[in-house]
Structure 1
């Protein structure tokens, strides 16, 4: 039987804050209603395979509950073996599993099709959408039906604030860096925020991690601080392991590296810029990275991110995007960006007068 890891209170709080909550009406219209009419169920789970919502035919719902196919239960490969939700999450692709192909005997009465859903801003896995029931659940049209609903949901998420369902590290434009998930959020010390930023940036780029001396030099600016770094890491691990906000985030050693992904606002901005989505990058960019930090590693990332945003906007930004950029504190005296905005801005644009007045101040 699939383990039930979320009690009702935790589940309800988690569902309220999960990004897929925002697109439930789309799944209800495009998938749940047709599934119920066909005697099937639709399950929506998170990136760890925990089912958050299960809806559809009433009779099949009761049967599924007896097999622990219900909200709060975990249907990952690690927890329950082969199933369509677990397979889709493990492979990142659509999957179909017929009744007796399930590893768990309790699931042999059902067939299922499932596909992953991702954050359209970052590509990060948000969860899985599953269709379960009799052989109609694995019919030829079942997987395309799921994928069409997912495409509609991802299109809706595209115009919403970028969120992923992962613990979020907030470091841009704030003197109070935070780490938080769906259930809780807490402030970090500047030192802990610096370490997590460096580890998160490394995971998104090389993924090789850092030795104690290398990380100490990036944080303290000189060699000889390995002992201080190890002590700081002990404190950081203690905080992460005792925090509901961290939601499973930990730091491995030799080399130092994150054990699981986090949704880091700085990384998300760079990902959006790489994809050519300047609007999303501006939505996410709240200002300079950890503005109170003087750590050499943070200064390098801060300058790189600010330069990448500016260069992308100067090269291809629209008038509206450039105007938004010019509202940032770091761009107040950026004359090149201001003249570029005026050059691409329509003569009749209401933004033009405001920009000209600003340049004359």
Structure 2
């Protein structure tokens, strides 16, 4: 950081401008005020031929192209959160809030009109490129060059006309590849300098990376589900799902394919690391690909292209060179009754994707695992149900042979339960469901499907990732009915125990994305240990683990901005 809390900004600016003149103009001995990071940047800048007295940045995007560049850039989805995090800071401090692309080209520049006017005369406006090689040492270009947050104060700028300014920039990285996507920068006149600005910028960059990582995890869940769906529908050899940049997300058999594959060649075929050829099928719009080996003994039947994915809300511009713009997926054939397929989430703000079942055409389907209101649907109709009726449906689903009034009263109300009260509730529920709810004993008429039963079956069969995807939200969290509380505790305890004892990243990731697993420190610690250091998901998991550890220790995890990558 250039400006320490105890420093006098005016005195520091004077000393740095004198140091700049001594080193750049007179090739004198480097004064102590010149930081190593600045001196190295000056050397790179001089080597690029930048003139400290006359060097305007190139304008690479005109007003007709800037809108397209913004719309297509992956940082566009982070901009509202960035504005919320540091927009007020920029306004209060008299700074401009700037977001660039990976080349240092300004895509967004917002702030006080007087500051924007002053910046305009320096060429600091949208469409101009502020890389080091173009305009010398500055917070944008230097942050990209060193891949680290940096503050450039007054005479630390290589070009003299920039000396009246202070700039703080932090790179934002792609969680898929680790490459820089751009920079968040706060720039303003020297009189607005404050030592906390760099911390705000760094924190905003980490927040943007967190949002991008969450989107990546959403895409990964869609890809995991695509693989599960494909395995449900066909018997074949090796297959895998890869991200839009070629990162292998999951494979079957486990470990068949790992690391990355090269997707830069156009077309629907790809050369795999073992030299064999794989067939690509797109999953969603820019989400990733299903890869099937075409080696002998590994048939590649076509036609089932996973078209049910409702992934438009999380689709983003595909990286350059990625063969996403292939033929659109064709509609998949209906799955056999009772077959599990995947229902994709609709994007941020929605629960994680769940595994959805195909039911017999005349089945009564009961949905209890929902952020909304529990509901029942049947061919040609359906209804929402209140909490008490949802509890009854849950308990009857666990006992397909039926329950007596006394048994149901005990599970609904405990020892004080009264069968007469149960009879009244059943009567009201039958007005909604008709003959789908039977009496003597109380039971659900076949065929019926209740989502929570699917969780128990997946757990029983050892399909842990599927069970966790199904249990994205707690079972009737407001319910205090003893039978429901017992089931909820049983499921969450079993899922938690399975996750904490697992060495499978997919299982652990599925668990920590559930409502209950999101705050599970031991599961986060285990996942941190399971993920390789170069796994692009590792930084987010490590950060969440550290936050939970700090919270457990009674420290405020947000007391200081996160540093580094």
Task: Identify which of 445, 460, 476 aligns with 1:259.
Answer: 445
Contact 2:338/2:358, CA 8 A, preserved across alignment: no
Say which SS state the counterpart of residue 436 (structure 2) adopts.
coil
Distance in structure 2 (CA, Å) of the matches to 1:259 and 1:195 = 14
1:75-123 CA distances to partner (integer Å, 9 max, x unpaired)? xxxxxxxxxxxxxxxxxxxxxxxxxxxxxxxxxxxxxxxxxxxxxxxxx
Distance 1:164 1:157, change over 3 A: closer
Q: How far does residue 262 in structure 1 lie from its aligned partner after superposition?
A: 1.7
Say which SS state the counterpart of residue 222 (structure 1) adopts.
helix
Residue 493 (structure 2) pairs with residue 339 (structure 1)? no
Which is bigger in relative contact order (C-alpha 8 A, separation at least 6)?
1
1:50-99 CA distances to partner (integer Å, 9 max, x unpaired)? xxxxxxxxxxxxxxxxxxxxxxxxxxxxxxxxxxxxxxxxxxxxxxxxxx
Contact 1:212/1:256, CA 8 A, preserved across alignment: yes
Residue 396 (structure 2) pairs with residue 199 (structure 1)? yes
Task: Identify which of 500, 509, 518 aligns with 1:314.
Answer: 500
Say which SS state the counterpart of residue 383 (structure 2) adopts.
strand
Which residue number in structure 2 is paired with residue 213 of structure 1? Answer: 406
Distance in structure 1 (CA, Å) of the matches to 2:378 and 2:467 = 21
Q: Which has the higher helix share?
A: 1
1:52-63 to 2 correspondence within 5 Å? none
Distance 1:350 1:201, change over 3 A: same
1:118-140 CA distances to partner (integer Å, 9 max, x unpaired)? xxxxxxxxxxxxxxxxxxxxxxx
Give unmatched runs, 5+ long, in structure 1.
1-21, 28-151, 242-247
Which residue number in structure 2 is paired with residue 238 of structure 1? Answer: 431
Q: How far does residue 202 in structure 1 lie from its aligned partner after superposition?
A: 1.4
Larger Rg: 2
Q: How far does residue 157 in structure 1 lie from its aligned partner after superposition?
A: 5.2
Contact 2:525/2:545, CA 8 A, preserved across alignment: no
Contact 1:319/1:344, CA 8 A, preserved across alignment: yes
Which residue number in structure 2 is paired with residue 271 of structure 1? Answer: 457
Residue 436 (structure 2) pairs with residue 249 (structure 1)? yes
Say which SS state the counterpart of residue 291 (structure 1) adopts.
coil
Distance 1:174 1:202, change over 3 A: farther
Distance 1:268 1:317, change over 3 A: farther
Residue 356 (structure 2) pairs with residue 162 (structure 1)? yes
The TM-score normalised by the length of structure 1 is 0.51
Which residue number in structure 2 is paired with residue 284 of structure 1? Answer: 470
Distance in structure 2 (CA, Å) of the matches to 1:334 and 1:312 = 13
Give unmatched runs, 5+ long, in structure 2.
1-228, 235-333, 343-354, 548-565
Which residue number in structure 1 is paired with residue 95 of structure 2? Answer: none
Distance 1:184 1:217, change over 3 A: same
Residue 372 (structure 2) pairs with residue 178 (structure 1)? no
Task: Identify which of 464, 468, 491 aligns with 1:305.
Answer: 491
Distance 1:164 1:154, change over 3 A: closer
Say which SS state the counterpart of residue 376 (structure 2) adopts.
strand
Distance in structure 2 (CA, Å) of the matches to 1:333 and 1:286 = 14
Q: How far does residue 154 in structure 1 lie from its aligned partner after superposition?
A: 5.9
Q: How far does residue 274 in structure 1 lie from its aligned partner after superposition?
A: 1.4
Contact 1:169/1:178, CA 8 A, preserved across alignment: yes
Contact 2:335/2:358, CA 8 A, preserved across alignment: no
Contact 1:175/1:292, CA 8 A, preserved across alignment: no
Say which SS state the counterpart of residue 294 (structure 1) adopts.
coil
1:65-84 to 2 correspondence within 5 Å? none
Q: How far does residue 186 in structure 1 lie from its aligned partner after superposition?
A: 1.8
Which residue number in structure 2 is paired with residue 188 of structure 1? Answer: 385
Q: How far does residue 194 in structure 1 lie from its aligned partner after superposition?
A: 0.5
Q: How far does residue 187 in structure 1 lie from its aligned partner after superposition?
A: 0.7
Q: How far does residue 360 in structure 1 lie from its aligned partner after superposition?
A: 2.1
Say which SS state the counterpart of residue 288 (structure 1) adopts.
coil
Work out the number of aligned pairs and report it: 203
Instruction: Calculate the aligned-residue CA RMSD, in Å.
Output: 2.9
Stretch deviating more after TM superposition (329-338 or 191-200): 329-338
1:26-175 to 2 correspondence within 5 Å? 158-160=340-342, 161-165=355-359, 166-175=363-372
Distance in structure 1 (CA, Å) of the matches to 2:539 and 2:510 = 15
Contact 1:164/1:263, CA 8 A, preserved across alignment: no
Distance in structure 2 (CA, Å) of the matches to 1:195 and 1:281 = 22
